[in-house]
Structure 1
């Protein structure tokens, strides 16, 4: 009997672990998740396999080739544009000349597929959906059947008030070739949203069979980690690579474990790993091939891909580290954090819970990463430069970052401070200014909004209004895609390096207070400051001498930003 494995998924909800690879090639228990599906098919005699591809198809073709290594026969059918689940199978119609099975490549399961085929044939069905029972059906397609298995109703991802069954669609189907006639060629068409409701309306023999066993749809990062834990706990019948050296402890070939290391099962340690003295590996940890874990490092309930490096004293707690990640000495990565491939966490850095770091990033020494790092190349400990804080708009200097930076600046100056904010006339600068002001107000600061001005006017306003400081936002004169945040002290000058370090430390620790609802003060919009500034300038110059000198004045300026001056 022929089988289609749907393997075209991009896996956007699993990023950053799917950055650069298709979802079916994400490892579960040190093997691509699709290999678990191939093993399941082979176990029940399904060896003629067609694979539908779309996103990065070469990864799957290169890994499985013609299937000979797995003792199956594989053919590939590539979508040039996304066709949906049913549309992708329609694309393989030339391969499907008999009753066939359809299964997703990115779920983990041990359901007895032969029982589904037997049921399908006994009922004379055109389509049979394999169903399973789940405790929380909100994220799945719920299916209602009669006692004989005839499907009477579908509901996609119901709210709790709509839940009428705990039987959900697993994405595994037994189909007759004639169902392909109901799928339009060359366009997006989905099994659960389009095809099955159509067959139900036309009263075709559409059945569901509930099978016992394990099934996990690896649709998000939490389910990805849970799948590893379920494999190690023996909840799913699938092969674990390596030898079981002790109860629940699997070692790969050539693994070098120091006698002073402490390993508590269930754990999986891949081929060629090296664990130093005093290393602690707690239950439900998976370590990929070629990992180097140095002395006194600690790993708990985490997933490490191949060739990961943990320096001495590093600590992982419920994290996922992709291939070739380096976590250097005494760094810490906490629950739910995910570090993309080829990223480096320098010494004594900390990644807070649920933070996602995309591939090829650098976290500098002693930094604390408390929000996801998607764009840019690094997370610096030192954020102040020669011109305040400067970075790419919406990439390095985001609204979220500016809000926290405004709060940190005010926290460094003390509670209840009076601060100024301003920006040039460009919309990106105005956006960042609004975020800065919100951050300042969130800790109880009184904020004076100077509007669209220039940096010297901002300095003048801080002095004349007797404020503790301020921030002016402008487009960088060096690069028009960057914004600069100029931080001003109470005298109108730049911050000292001592104060900059204080702000950086508070920001990295997020060690600033939050005002309760009665302490948040309204923003005050300042008018008339331009006239005061110009008058103050005129008082400092000898206008008569300038007139007598009959100087010629050439004005070169940006009219969009400075016309009001």
Structure 2
């Protein structure tokens, strides 16, 4: 089986998180989302993988490269064009991306799996493959039951008792939902589905290809299987996933560094004053310094080479690398980088344009302004 990872989206709902990073490169503590996906595919011996890229394509490609260190072989399909010596992103949709690859290389010559690049997933891919073959399906959708009051956040699948898909509902209100089976964005396809995708136009899998296959009476099935699925659709989702990672809820994930006491991880070269009050889980990145009388109430993540000055209190706060927090700052439910911040409500902005600028600065600028040390 081959695989396709969808990674061409601009991530507009995740701005400012995606101003400098494509969604699959958002780090879960230190590990990008794309790495979780590659490890899953390698685990099930899926070795040949295509990734479509567009927005900030070079960032992802420079990290993953050939896929060798993940035990896989990776190729890339850039969606866009050159203009005046610059790469201009021009996504063609999730299904359009499949068609483009097939037209250019004929890559999809056997059963293949498609996964979204902005979600952490863990499920039995072998079981899903067996179900797909046993159902004689041309398309199998991996689904997950969600609470009825959450159905309006998802694409919903309506299927019969055998799992054959009858229709779809896009983010229906709870009172109108005919099912609580959410589309996880994971699909297993036979190559013949590509015949239904038009050439050279934007075309989507969930909104266009799958409904077309059902309309044409093709065998499309939904598999409701046990799956861990953490979808980063909004800024608030990202903060929740960071917290789950530190709390040990993401299977197989453990922060780097030394776990000096249960739930407290320290990177190499980090310094921690004895007066620091810690309620775990807390991660302190390499080279970071925590001064006296600081309170860290987990989940808290402090990136590499940060400096947290005295009398600071942080609760459910996630700091990027090279951040200085000035004395007396108190914060809850925030993600902070040297450039921007995001709250648990999903709202955020630039540090320079907010009240946070009085307390937050980039450690790397301190040498240029010694008086501010």
Normalized against structure 2, the TM-score is what?
Answer: 0.86
Range that drifts further, 74-83 or 279-288 = 279-288
Kindly state the Cα deviation for residue 124 of structure 1 after the two structures are TM-superposed: 1.6
- The alpha-carbon deviation at position 139 of structure 1 amounts to 1.3
Judging changes above 3 Å, is the alpha-carbon distance between structure 1 residues 267 and 112 closer, same or farther for their aligned structure 2 residues?
Answer: farther
1:177 corresponds in structure 2 to 191
One of 241, 244, 249 as aligned partner of 1:230? 244
Look up the SS of the partner of 1:16 in the other structure.
coil
How far residue 365 of structure 1 moved from its aligned partner, in angstroms, is 7.2
Pick from 96, 102, 106: which aligns with 2:108?
Answer: 96
Which one of the candidate residues 140, 157, 164 is aligned to 1:128?
140
Contact 1:6 1:85 in 2 (8 A): yes
Retained in 2: the 8 A contact 1:231–1:238?
no
**Which structure carries more strand by proportion?**
2
Counterpart of 2:123 in 1: which secondary structure?
coil
Partner residue, 2:230: 216
Cα 1:129–1:256 shift into 2, 3 Å: same
Cα deviations by residue, 1:95-140 (Å, 9 ceiling, x for unpaired): 2211111001101222222221121122121110000111211111
Aligned counterpart, 1:481: none
Compared CA separation, residues 7 and 334, structure 1 to 2 (3 A): closer
Q: 2: distance between equivalents of 1:248 and 1:48?
A: 37
- Which range moved further: 144-153 or 162-171? 144-153
1:301 pairs with 2:307: no
How do 1:93-172 and structure 2 match up within 5 A? 93=102, 94-135=106-147, 136-172=150-186
CA, structure 1 residues 366+42, in 2 after alignment: closer, same or farther (shift >3 Å)? closer
Structure number with the bigger relative contact order (C-alpha 8 A, sep ≥ 6) is: 2
Q: Is the 8 A contact 2:303 2:319 kept in 1?
A: yes
1:363 positional shift: 5.4
1:3 is matched with which residue?
A: 3
Q: Following the alignment from structure 1 to structure 2, what is the Cα–Cα distance between the partners of residues 334 and 10?
A: 18
Larger Rg: 1
Rounded to whole Å, the distance in 2 between the matches of 1:159 and 1:96 is 37
Residue 12 in structure 1 maps to residue 4 in structure 2: no
Q: CA deviation at 1:240?
A: 2.5
Structure 2: distance between partners of 1:54 and 1:265: 39
- CA distance in structure 1 between the aligned counterparts of 2:229 and 2:25, rounded to whole angstroms: 18
Tell me, in whole angstroms, the C-alpha distance in 2 between the residues paired with 1:174 and 1:197.
15
Deviation at 1:199, TM superposition (A): 0.6
Structure 2 stretches lacking a partner, 5+ long: 81-89, 360-373
Deviation digits for residues 369-395 of structure 1 (CA, Å, limit 9, x no counterpart): xxxxxxxxxxxxxxxxxxxxxxxxxxx
2:254 is aligned to: 240
TM-score (norm 1): 0.58
> What is the CA RMSD across the aligned residues, in angstroms?
2.2
Per-residue CA deviations over 1:258-295 (Å, capped at 9, x if unaligned) read: 22222221222222222122221111122222222122
- Asked if 1:75 is matched to 2:75, the reply is yes
Contact 2:101 2:107 in 1 (8 A): yes
1:481-496 aligned within 5 A:
none
Tell me, yes or no, if the aligned pair for 2:236 and 2:345 is still in contact at 8 Å: no
Contact 2:246 2:255 in 1 (8 A): no
1:491: which partner in 2?
none
1:393-442 C-alpha deviation (Å, 9 max, x unpaired): xxxxxxxxxxxxxxxxxxxxxxxxxxxxxxxxxxxxxxxxxxxxxxxxxx
CA apart distance, 1:69: 2.2
Distance across 2 between alignment mates of 1:6 and 1:74: 13
Q: 1:260 to 1:137 in 2, by over 3 A?
A: same
CA 1:45–1:292 in 2, change beyond 3 Å: closer, same or farther? Answer: farther
How far does residue 255 in structure 1 lie from its aligned partner after superposition?
A: 2.5
Following superposition of structure 1 onto structure 2, how do residues 257-336 of structure 1 map, counting pairs within 5 Å? Answer: 257-322=272-337, 324-325=338-339, 336=344
Q: Relative to structure 1, is the Cα distance of residues 325 and 291 closer, same or farther in structure 2, using a 3 angstrom cutoff?
A: farther
Q: 2 CA distance for matches of 1:253 and 1:157?
A: 46
Moved over 3 A (4+): 333-338, 359-367
Shift of 1:91: 1.8
Distance in 1 (alpha carbons) for counterparts of 2:129 and 2:263 = 34
Matched residue pairs, number? 344
Q: Distance in 2 between matches of 1:145 and 1:267?
A: 44
3-state secondary structure, aligned to 1:4:
strand
